[in-house]
Structure 1
Protein backbone atom coordinates (compact mmCIF):
# COMPACT_ATOMS: atom_id res chain seq x y z
CA UNK A 1 0.00 0.00 0.00
CA UNK A 2 1.33 3.43 -0.93
CA UNK A 3 1.73 5.73 2.07
CA UNK A 4 -0.10 9.02 1.47
CA UNK A 5 2.19 12.01 1.52
CA UNK A 6 -0.36 14.56 2.72
CA UNK A 7 0.54 15.89 6.16
CA UNK A 8 -1.99 15.96 9.03
CA UNK A 9 -3.81 19.21 9.75
CA UNK A 10 -2.21 21.16 12.60
CA UNK A 11 -3.73 20.67 16.05
CA UNK A 12 -6.02 23.48 17.14
CA UNK A 13 -6.68 24.94 13.70
CA UNK A 14 -10.40 25.30 14.43
CA UNK A 15 -11.28 24.64 10.80
CA UNK A 16 -14.69 23.28 11.79
CA UNK A 17 -15.46 26.04 14.29
CA UNK A 18 -16.98 29.49 13.86
CA UNK A 19 -15.77 30.83 17.21
CA UNK A 20 -12.50 30.04 18.95
CA UNK A 21 -14.27 29.44 22.25
CA UNK A 22 -17.25 27.36 23.41
CA UNK A 23 -19.94 29.65 22.05
CA UNK A 24 -23.12 29.00 20.10
CA UNK A 25 -24.25 31.30 17.31
CA UNK A 26 -27.42 32.09 19.29
CA UNK A 27 -25.48 33.20 22.37
CA UNK A 28 -23.02 35.18 20.27
CA UNK A 29 -25.82 37.04 18.50
CA UNK A 30 -27.56 37.82 21.79
CA UNK A 31 -24.46 39.14 23.52
CA UNK A 32 -23.20 41.07 20.51
CA UNK A 33 -26.53 42.88 20.24
CA UNK A 34 -25.90 44.22 23.74
CA UNK A 35 -22.49 45.51 22.68
CA UNK A 36 -23.73 46.92 19.37
CA UNK A 37 -26.58 48.77 21.11
CA UNK A 38 -23.93 50.85 22.90
CA UNK A 39 -22.82 52.18 19.49
CA UNK A 40 -19.09 51.58 19.89
CA UNK A 41 -16.75 53.56 17.67
CA UNK A 42 -13.67 51.57 18.67
CA UNK A 43 -13.26 47.85 19.37
CA UNK A 44 -10.23 46.09 20.84
CA UNK A 45 -9.96 42.29 20.95
CA UNK A 46 -6.99 41.07 23.00
CA UNK A 47 -6.17 37.44 22.32
CA UNK A 48 -8.56 37.58 19.38
CA UNK A 49 -7.86 34.21 17.77
CA UNK A 50 -9.44 34.49 14.34
CA UNK A 51 -11.40 37.51 15.61
CA UNK A 52 -14.92 36.40 14.71
CA UNK A 53 -16.56 38.51 17.43
CA UNK A 54 -14.55 41.61 16.51
CA UNK A 55 -15.37 41.19 12.82
CA UNK A 56 -19.08 40.73 13.48
CA UNK A 57 -19.29 43.91 15.51
CA UNK A 58 -17.33 45.86 12.90
CA UNK A 59 -19.63 44.56 10.15
CA UNK A 60 -22.75 45.71 12.03
CA UNK A 61 -21.38 49.10 13.08
CA UNK A 62 -20.09 50.68 9.84
CA UNK A 63 -18.58 53.68 11.64
CA UNK A 64 -16.50 51.56 14.00
CA UNK A 65 -12.84 50.67 13.69
CA UNK A 66 -11.29 47.67 15.38
CA UNK A 67 -8.02 46.10 16.36
CA UNK A 68 -7.30 42.44 17.15
CA UNK A 69 -4.08 41.03 18.58
CA UNK A 70 -3.02 37.41 18.98
CA UNK A 71 0.23 35.47 19.36
CA UNK A 72 -0.90 32.62 17.10
CA UNK A 73 -0.06 33.80 13.58
CA UNK A 74 -2.23 31.28 11.68
CA UNK A 75 -5.28 32.67 13.51
CA UNK A 76 -4.37 36.21 12.48
CA UNK A 77 -3.96 35.06 8.87
CA UNK A 78 -7.42 33.48 9.00
CA UNK A 79 -8.89 36.63 10.56
CA UNK A 80 -7.35 38.83 7.87
CA UNK A 81 -8.72 36.58 5.15
CA UNK A 82 -12.21 36.77 6.68
CA UNK A 83 -12.04 40.55 7.09
CA UNK A 84 -11.10 40.93 3.43
CA UNK A 85 -13.90 38.63 2.31
CA UNK A 86 -16.42 40.67 4.29
CA UNK A 87 -15.12 43.98 2.99
CA UNK A 88 -14.13 45.38 6.38
CA UNK A 89 -10.35 44.95 6.17
CA UNK A 90 -9.85 48.73 5.84
CA UNK A 91 -11.45 49.31 9.25
CA UNK A 92 -9.93 46.40 11.16
CA UNK A 93 -6.24 45.99 12.02
CA UNK A 94 -5.18 42.43 12.83
CA UNK A 95 -1.82 42.12 14.52
CA UNK A 96 0.41 39.16 15.27
CA UNK A 97 1.78 40.07 18.69
CA UNK A 98 1.56 40.00 22.46
CA UNK A 99 -1.77 41.39 23.69
CA UNK A 100 -0.23 42.48 26.98
CA UNK A 101 1.97 44.99 25.17
CA UNK A 102 -0.93 46.98 23.71
CA UNK A 103 -2.24 49.98 25.63
CA UNK A 104 -4.84 51.34 23.22
CA UNK A 105 -8.20 52.02 24.86
CA UNK A 106 -11.55 51.29 23.22
CA UNK A 107 -15.30 51.55 23.67
CA UNK A 108 -15.66 47.77 23.55
CA UNK A 109 -12.82 45.59 24.80
CA UNK A 110 -12.97 41.81 24.26
CA UNK A 111 -10.92 39.22 26.11
CA UNK A 112 -12.19 35.67 25.67
CA UNK A 113 -10.18 32.77 27.11
CA UNK A 114 -7.00 34.83 27.01
CA UNK A 115 -6.63 36.39 30.45
CA UNK A 116 -3.27 34.59 30.80
CA UNK A 117 -1.69 37.27 28.61
CA UNK A 118 -1.94 39.57 31.63
CA UNK A 119 -1.23 37.07 34.42
CA UNK A 120 -3.99 35.92 36.76
CA UNK A 121 -7.68 36.65 36.26
CA UNK A 122 -7.49 39.38 38.90
CA UNK A 123 -4.47 40.98 37.20
CA UNK A 124 -6.13 40.73 33.80
CA UNK A 125 -9.35 42.40 34.93
CA UNK A 126 -7.45 45.29 36.52
CA UNK A 127 -5.46 45.80 33.32
CA UNK A 128 -8.51 45.49 31.09
CA UNK A 129 -10.39 48.01 33.22
CA UNK A 130 -7.73 50.57 32.29
CA UNK A 131 -8.42 49.98 28.59
CA UNK A 132 -12.19 50.51 28.60
CA UNK A 133 -13.15 54.06 27.66
CA UNK A 134 -15.79 55.92 29.70
CA UNK A 135 -19.23 54.66 28.72
CA UNK A 136 -17.71 51.50 27.24
CA UNK A 137 -17.74 47.87 28.32
CA UNK A 138 -15.71 44.69 28.48
CA UNK A 139 -16.77 41.29 27.13
CA UNK A 140 -14.81 38.83 29.23
CA UNK A 141 -14.78 35.05 28.94
CA UNK A 142 -13.05 32.65 31.32
CA UNK A 143 -13.17 29.18 32.82
CA UNK A 144 -14.52 28.53 36.30
CA UNK A 145 -15.03 25.44 38.46
CA UNK A 146 -18.60 24.18 38.39
CA UNK A 147 -17.52 22.04 41.34
CA UNK A 148 -14.21 21.90 43.17
CA UNK A 149 -12.26 19.07 41.50
CA UNK A 150 -11.01 16.17 43.56
CA UNK A 151 -7.35 15.08 43.37
CA UNK A 152 -8.45 12.21 41.11
CA UNK A 153 -10.25 14.58 38.75
CA UNK A 154 -7.26 16.92 38.67
CA UNK A 155 -5.02 14.00 37.71
CA UNK A 156 -7.10 13.51 34.56
CA UNK A 157 -6.73 17.13 33.44
CA UNK A 158 -3.76 18.86 31.84
CA UNK A 159 -0.39 18.22 33.47
CA UNK A 160 0.16 20.55 36.39
CA UNK A 161 -3.48 21.64 36.75
CA UNK A 162 -4.22 22.84 40.29
CA UNK A 163 -7.41 23.77 42.11
CA UNK A 164 -6.13 27.34 42.30
CA UNK A 165 -6.05 27.63 38.50
CA UNK A 166 -9.78 28.48 38.50
CA UNK A 167 -12.39 29.96 40.79
CA UNK A 168 -16.09 29.46 41.29
CA UNK A 169 -18.45 31.56 39.18
CA UNK A 170 -19.27 33.73 42.20
CA UNK A 171 -15.58 34.34 42.86
CA UNK A 172 -15.00 35.18 39.20
CA UNK A 173 -17.72 37.83 39.30
CA UNK A 174 -16.37 39.14 42.61
CA UNK A 175 -12.97 39.59 40.95
CA UNK A 176 -14.60 41.69 38.21
CA UNK A 177 -16.32 43.89 40.78
CA UNK A 178 -13.08 44.31 42.74
CA UNK A 179 -11.36 45.42 39.53
CA UNK A 180 -13.83 48.28 39.06
CA UNK A 181 -16.67 46.74 37.04
CA UNK A 182 -20.34 45.99 37.52
CA UNK A 183 -21.75 42.89 35.80
CA UNK A 184 -24.34 43.84 33.19
CA UNK A 185 -24.66 40.27 31.91
CA UNK A 186 -23.54 36.89 33.26
CA UNK A 187 -23.95 33.77 31.14
CA UNK A 188 -22.54 30.26 31.38
CA UNK A 189 -22.20 27.81 28.53
CA UNK A 190 -24.17 24.62 28.03
CA UNK A 191 -22.81 21.10 27.73
CA UNK A 192 -23.66 21.24 24.01
CA UNK A 193 -21.43 24.29 23.55
CA UNK A 194 -18.53 22.45 25.22
CA UNK A 195 -19.18 19.41 23.03
CA UNK A 196 -19.29 21.44 19.81
CA UNK A 197 -16.09 23.23 20.79
CA UNK A 198 -14.12 20.12 21.80
CA UNK A 199 -15.19 17.95 18.87
CA UNK A 200 -14.84 20.89 16.49
CA UNK A 201 -11.20 21.33 17.43
CA UNK A 202 -10.49 17.66 16.80
CA UNK A 203 -12.66 17.02 13.76
CA UNK A 204 -10.22 17.78 10.94
CA UNK A 205 -7.49 15.61 12.47
CA UNK A 206 -9.95 12.78 13.15
CA UNK A 207 -11.07 12.89 9.51
CA UNK A 208 -7.44 12.86 8.37
CA UNK A 209 -6.54 9.97 10.70
CA UNK A 210 -9.43 7.81 9.48
CA UNK A 211 -8.28 8.32 5.89
CA UNK A 212 -4.53 7.94 6.55
CA UNK A 213 -4.02 5.13 9.09
CA UNK A 214 -0.70 4.08 7.54
CA UNK A 215 0.86 7.53 7.38
CA UNK A 216 4.16 7.87 9.31
CA UNK A 217 2.58 10.53 11.53
CA UNK A 218 -0.63 8.60 12.19
CA UNK A 219 0.46 7.13 15.53
CA UNK A 220 1.48 10.52 16.92
CA UNK A 221 -1.78 12.12 15.72
CA UNK A 222 -3.83 9.30 17.29
CA UNK A 223 -2.01 9.67 20.61
CA UNK A 224 -2.56 13.44 20.64
CA UNK A 225 -6.26 13.10 19.83
CA UNK A 226 -6.84 10.32 22.36
CA UNK A 227 -5.14 12.37 25.07
CA UNK A 228 -7.12 15.50 24.20
CA UNK A 229 -10.40 13.59 24.21
CA UNK A 230 -9.60 11.89 27.51
CA UNK A 231 -8.87 15.23 29.21
CA UNK A 232 -12.29 16.40 28.10
CA UNK A 233 -14.42 13.28 28.72
CA UNK A 234 -12.62 11.91 31.78
CA UNK A 235 -11.37 15.21 33.16
CA UNK A 236 -13.18 18.51 32.82
CA UNK A 237 -16.62 17.35 31.65
CA UNK A 238 -19.17 18.72 34.17
CA UNK A 239 -16.29 20.01 36.32
CA UNK A 240 -15.03 22.97 34.32
CA UNK A 241 -17.44 25.66 33.18
CA UNK A 242 -16.99 28.70 30.98
CA UNK A 243 -18.60 32.07 31.62
CA UNK A 244 -19.22 35.14 29.48
CA UNK A 245 -19.49 38.43 31.32
CA UNK A 246 -20.42 41.84 29.94
CA UNK A 247 -18.87 44.26 32.40
CA UNK A 248 -19.47 47.99 32.78
CA UNK A 249 -16.73 50.08 34.42
CA UNK A 250 -17.74 51.98 37.51
CA UNK A 251 -17.00 55.70 37.69
CA UNK A 252 -13.56 56.31 39.16
Structure 2
Protein backbone atom coordinates (compact mmCIF):
# COMPACT_ATOMS: atom_id res chain seq x y z
CA UNK A 1 0.00 0.00 0.00
CA UNK A 2 1.42 3.39 -0.99
CA UNK A 3 0.97 6.09 1.60
CA UNK A 4 -0.30 9.56 0.72
CA UNK A 5 1.99 11.08 3.38
CA UNK A 6 4.93 12.66 1.55
CA UNK A 7 6.88 13.41 4.74
CA UNK A 8 8.82 10.16 4.49
CA UNK A 9 9.06 7.44 1.86
CA UNK A 10 6.96 4.38 2.79
CA UNK A 11 8.72 1.27 4.07
CA UNK A 12 8.30 -2.35 2.91
CA UNK A 13 4.58 -2.03 2.27
CA UNK A 14 4.76 -4.19 -0.85
CA UNK A 15 6.35 -7.16 0.91
CA UNK A 16 4.44 -10.05 2.46
CA UNK A 17 7.65 -11.68 3.71
CA UNK A 18 10.90 -9.90 4.47
CA UNK A 19 12.90 -12.20 2.22
CA UNK A 20 12.79 -14.10 -1.11
CA UNK A 21 9.95 -16.43 -0.14
CA UNK A 22 6.98 -17.27 -2.37
CA UNK A 23 3.47 -18.00 -1.21
CA UNK A 24 3.85 -21.60 -2.44
CA UNK A 25 7.06 -22.22 -0.48
CA UNK A 26 5.64 -20.50 2.59
CA UNK A 27 2.58 -22.75 2.46
CA UNK A 28 4.80 -25.84 2.36
CA UNK A 29 6.88 -24.62 5.30
CA UNK A 30 3.76 -23.85 7.32
CA UNK A 31 2.25 -27.29 6.65
CA UNK A 32 5.52 -28.99 7.53
CA UNK A 33 5.88 -27.18 10.85
CA UNK A 34 2.21 -27.45 11.78
CA UNK A 35 2.34 -31.21 11.12
CA UNK A 36 4.96 -31.54 13.87
CA UNK A 37 2.30 -30.44 16.39
CA UNK A 38 4.23 -27.64 18.14
CA UNK A 39 3.00 -26.28 21.44
CA UNK A 40 5.24 -23.23 21.23
CA UNK A 41 6.95 -21.44 18.35
CA UNK A 42 9.75 -18.88 18.58
CA UNK A 43 10.53 -16.54 15.67
CA UNK A 44 14.01 -14.98 15.78
CA UNK A 45 14.27 -11.68 13.90
CA UNK A 46 10.56 -12.00 13.22
CA UNK A 47 9.93 -8.63 11.56
CA UNK A 48 6.14 -8.50 11.35
CA UNK A 49 5.90 -12.26 11.86
CA UNK A 50 3.94 -13.24 8.77
CA UNK A 51 5.15 -16.84 8.74
CA UNK A 52 4.74 -17.15 12.52
CA UNK A 53 1.13 -15.99 12.31
CA UNK A 54 0.38 -18.46 9.52
CA UNK A 55 1.82 -21.31 11.58
CA UNK A 56 -0.31 -20.34 14.57
CA UNK A 57 -3.36 -20.24 12.32
CA UNK A 58 -2.52 -23.74 11.02
CA UNK A 59 -1.68 -25.12 14.49
CA UNK A 60 -4.51 -23.95 16.78
CA UNK A 61 -2.93 -25.43 19.92
CA UNK A 62 0.31 -23.51 19.48
CA UNK A 63 1.41 -20.23 21.02
CA UNK A 64 4.11 -18.01 19.56
CA UNK A 65 6.70 -15.38 20.43
CA UNK A 66 8.33 -13.11 17.86
CA UNK A 67 11.56 -11.32 18.78
CA UNK A 68 13.03 -8.39 16.87
CA UNK A 69 14.63 -4.99 17.47
CA UNK A 70 12.58 -3.14 14.82
CA UNK A 71 9.70 -1.50 16.68
CA UNK A 72 7.89 -0.49 13.49
CA UNK A 73 7.85 -4.07 12.18
CA UNK A 74 6.69 -5.42 15.54
CA UNK A 75 3.82 -2.94 15.58
CA UNK A 76 2.79 -4.17 12.14
CA UNK A 77 2.87 -7.73 13.47
CA UNK A 78 0.62 -6.86 16.40
CA UNK A 79 -1.87 -5.24 14.03
CA UNK A 80 -1.88 -8.33 11.79
CA UNK A 81 -2.39 -10.57 14.82
CA UNK A 82 -5.39 -8.53 15.91
CA UNK A 83 -6.89 -8.61 12.41
CA UNK A 84 -6.54 -12.41 12.24
CA UNK A 85 -7.84 -13.15 15.71
CA UNK A 86 -4.45 -14.39 16.94
CA UNK A 87 -3.52 -11.65 19.39
CA UNK A 88 -4.20 -13.87 22.42
CA UNK A 89 -1.75 -16.53 21.19
CA UNK A 90 1.23 -14.46 20.06
CA UNK A 91 3.60 -12.03 21.74
CA UNK A 92 5.81 -9.63 19.78
CA UNK A 93 8.81 -8.54 21.85
CA UNK A 94 11.35 -5.82 21.15
CA UNK A 95 14.62 -7.32 22.36
CA UNK A 96 17.91 -8.81 21.23
CA UNK A 97 17.83 -12.52 20.44
CA UNK A 98 21.46 -13.12 21.38
CA UNK A 99 21.79 -15.16 24.55
CA UNK A 100 18.04 -15.05 25.08
CA UNK A 101 16.23 -17.32 27.49
CA UNK A 102 13.06 -17.96 25.50
CA UNK A 103 13.82 -21.62 24.78
CA UNK A 104 13.65 -24.47 24.59
CA UNK A 105 10.55 -24.60 22.41
CA UNK A 106 9.10 -27.06 19.91
CA UNK A 107 9.73 -24.97 16.78
CA UNK A 108 12.03 -22.08 15.92
CA UNK A 109 11.99 -19.83 12.87
CA UNK A 110 15.10 -17.89 11.89
CA UNK A 111 14.67 -16.54 8.38
CA UNK A 112 17.52 -14.31 7.29
CA UNK A 113 18.22 -13.38 10.91
CA UNK A 114 21.08 -15.67 11.94
CA UNK A 115 23.23 -12.61 12.61
CA UNK A 116 20.90 -11.78 15.51
CA UNK A 117 22.29 -14.83 17.33
CA UNK A 118 25.96 -13.96 16.78
CA UNK A 119 28.50 -11.59 18.31
CA UNK A 120 27.82 -8.23 16.61
CA UNK A 121 31.50 -7.30 16.91
CA UNK A 122 32.57 -10.26 14.74
CA UNK A 123 31.74 -11.38 11.19
CA UNK A 124 28.55 -13.39 10.89
CA UNK A 125 29.19 -17.01 11.86
CA UNK A 126 26.48 -19.49 10.80
CA UNK A 127 28.08 -22.16 13.02
CA UNK A 128 27.46 -19.99 16.08
CA UNK A 129 23.91 -19.25 14.93
CA UNK A 130 23.21 -22.97 14.51
CA UNK A 131 24.58 -23.78 17.97
CA UNK A 132 22.26 -21.15 19.44
CA UNK A 133 19.31 -22.51 17.49
CA UNK A 134 20.05 -26.00 18.82
CA UNK A 135 20.02 -24.58 22.36
CA UNK A 136 16.64 -22.96 21.74
CA UNK A 137 14.81 -26.06 20.45
CA UNK A 138 13.83 -29.26 22.25
CA UNK A 139 15.12 -32.65 21.06
CA UNK A 140 12.89 -33.70 18.19
CA UNK A 141 11.83 -30.11 17.63
CA UNK A 142 11.96 -28.33 14.29
CA UNK A 143 14.01 -25.33 13.17
CA UNK A 144 13.47 -23.54 9.89
CA UNK A 145 16.62 -21.63 9.04
CA UNK A 146 16.80 -19.19 6.14
CA UNK A 147 20.51 -18.58 5.56
CA UNK A 148 22.66 -17.17 2.78
CA UNK A 149 25.11 -19.29 0.81
CA UNK A 150 27.20 -18.84 -2.33
CA UNK A 151 25.66 -20.33 -5.46
CA UNK A 152 29.18 -19.98 -6.85
CA UNK A 153 32.34 -18.19 -5.79
CA UNK A 154 31.88 -14.47 -6.51
CA UNK A 155 34.38 -12.60 -8.67
CA UNK A 156 36.33 -9.64 -7.32
CA UNK A 157 34.12 -7.32 -9.37
CA UNK A 158 30.96 -8.84 -7.95
CA UNK A 159 32.28 -8.58 -4.40
CA UNK A 160 33.15 -4.92 -4.97
CA UNK A 161 29.56 -4.24 -6.06
CA UNK A 162 27.98 -5.95 -3.04
CA UNK A 163 27.70 -4.64 0.51
CA UNK A 164 30.67 -2.71 1.96
CA UNK A 165 33.54 -5.03 2.83
CA UNK A 166 32.00 -8.07 1.13
CA UNK A 167 34.39 -11.01 0.96
CA UNK A 168 34.32 -14.62 -0.15
CA UNK A 169 34.36 -15.78 3.47
CA UNK A 170 31.03 -14.09 4.22
CA UNK A 171 29.17 -17.23 3.16
CA UNK A 172 29.67 -20.95 2.56
CA UNK A 173 28.59 -23.18 -0.30
CA UNK A 174 25.29 -24.97 0.36
CA UNK A 175 26.99 -28.25 1.25
CA UNK A 176 29.18 -26.56 3.84
CA UNK A 177 26.18 -24.85 5.41
CA UNK A 178 24.28 -28.14 5.72
CA UNK A 179 27.38 -29.79 7.22
CA UNK A 180 27.42 -27.10 9.91
CA UNK A 181 23.79 -27.87 10.74
CA UNK A 182 24.59 -31.56 11.19
CA UNK A 183 27.61 -30.71 13.38
CA UNK A 184 25.40 -28.48 15.55
CA UNK A 185 23.05 -31.38 16.36
CA UNK A 186 20.45 -31.38 13.59
CA UNK A 187 19.31 -33.68 10.82
CA UNK A 188 18.41 -31.83 7.60
CA UNK A 189 14.87 -33.05 6.98
CA UNK A 190 14.31 -30.75 4.01
CA UNK A 191 16.73 -28.67 1.92
CA UNK A 192 15.41 -26.08 -0.53
CA UNK A 193 16.63 -22.80 -1.99
CA UNK A 194 15.02 -19.59 -3.21
CA UNK A 195 14.64 -19.38 -6.97
CA UNK A 196 15.12 -16.40 -9.27
CA UNK A 197 11.41 -15.50 -9.29
CA UNK A 198 11.42 -15.31 -5.48
CA UNK A 199 14.54 -13.14 -5.49
CA UNK A 200 13.16 -10.77 -8.12
CA UNK A 201 9.83 -10.43 -6.32
CA UNK A 202 11.63 -9.67 -3.07
CA UNK A 203 14.19 -7.24 -4.48
CA UNK A 204 11.60 -5.35 -6.49
CA UNK A 205 9.06 -5.38 -3.67
CA UNK A 206 11.70 -4.17 -1.21
CA UNK A 207 12.11 -0.93 -3.17
CA UNK A 208 8.77 -0.63 -4.95
CA UNK A 209 6.97 1.84 -2.69
CA UNK A 210 10.09 3.97 -2.28
CA UNK A 211 10.66 4.10 -6.05
CA UNK A 212 7.05 5.19 -6.60
CA UNK A 213 7.43 7.79 -3.85
CA UNK A 214 10.61 9.12 -5.47
CA UNK A 215 8.88 9.42 -8.84
CA UNK A 216 6.07 11.44 -7.24
CA UNK A 217 8.30 13.62 -5.02
CA UNK A 218 11.56 14.29 -6.92
CA UNK A 219 12.13 17.62 -5.17
CA UNK A 220 11.29 16.51 -1.62
CA UNK A 221 14.02 17.42 0.92
CA UNK A 222 14.63 13.70 1.53
CA UNK A 223 14.57 12.71 -2.14
CA UNK A 224 18.30 13.01 -2.91
CA UNK A 225 19.37 10.99 0.13
CA UNK A 226 16.68 8.37 -0.46
CA UNK A 227 17.46 8.11 -4.19
CA UNK A 228 21.15 7.56 -3.47
CA UNK A 229 20.37 4.82 -0.96
CA UNK A 230 17.91 3.01 -3.21
CA UNK A 231 20.16 3.26 -6.26
CA UNK A 232 23.02 1.81 -4.23
CA UNK A 233 20.83 -1.07 -3.00
CA UNK A 234 19.63 -1.88 -6.49
CA UNK A 235 23.15 -1.84 -7.94
CA UNK A 236 24.36 -4.07 -5.13
CA UNK A 237 21.84 -6.66 -6.27
CA UNK A 238 22.02 -6.32 -10.05
CA UNK A 239 25.80 -5.86 -10.32
CA UNK A 240 26.83 -7.84 -7.25
CA UNK A 241 24.97 -10.74 -5.70
CA UNK A 242 22.28 -11.55 -8.30
CA UNK A 243 22.63 -15.25 -9.22
CA UNK A 244 25.63 -15.44 -6.86
CA UNK A 245 24.12 -15.25 -3.38
CA UNK A 246 21.50 -17.87 -2.60
CA UNK A 247 19.11 -18.30 0.28
CA UNK A 248 18.69 -21.81 1.68
CA UNK A 249 15.58 -22.78 3.61
CA UNK A 250 16.65 -25.68 5.83
CA UNK A 251 14.04 -27.61 7.81
CA UNK A 252 16.13 -29.10 10.61
CA UNK A 253 15.15 -31.65 13.25
CA UNK A 254 17.04 -31.50 16.54
CA UNK A 255 18.70 -34.78 17.50
CA UNK A 256 18.27 -36.27 20.93
Shorter chain as denominator, the TM-score bin is over 0.9
Partner of 2:18: 20
Partner of 2:6: 6
Partner of 2:29: 31
Partner of 1:145: 150
Residue 134 of structure 1: how far off its partner (Å): 2.5
CA contact 2:40–2:62 (8 Å) conserved in 1:
yes
Residue 114 (1) aligns with residue 122 (2) = no
Residue 211 (1) aligns with residue 216 (2) = yes
SS at match of 2:88: coil
Partner of 2:72: 74
Partner of 1:136: 141
Q: Distance in 1 between matches of 2:178 and 2:196?
A: 21
Q: Distance in 1 between matches of 2:116 and 2:251?
A: 19
Partner of 2:121: none
Residue 59 of structure 1: how far off its partner (Å): 1.1
Mark the runs of 5 or more structure 2 residues left unpaired by the alignment. Answer: 119-124
CA contact 1:188–1:244 (8 Å) conserved in 2:
yes
Residue 164 (1) aligns with residue 162 (2) = no
- CA displacement 1:104-125 (0-9 Å, x = unmatched): 2211111111111122100010
Q: Distance in 1 between matches of 2:79 and 2:97?
A: 20
* Alignment partner of 1:199 out of 197, 200, 204: 204
Mark the runs of 5 or more structure 1 residues left unpaired by the alignment. Answer: none
Runs of 4+ in 1 over 2 A off after TM superposition: none
* Alignment partner of 1:43 out of 41, 44, 49: 41
CA contact 2:39–2:61 (8 Å) conserved in 1:
yes
Residue 101 of structure 1: how far off its partner (Å): 3.8
- CA displacement 1:160-198 (0-9 Å, x = unmatched): 111111000000000000100010000001111011111
Superposition RMSD on alpha carbons, in Å? 1.3
Partner of 1:174: 179
Residue 5 of structure 1: how far off its partner (Å): 8.0
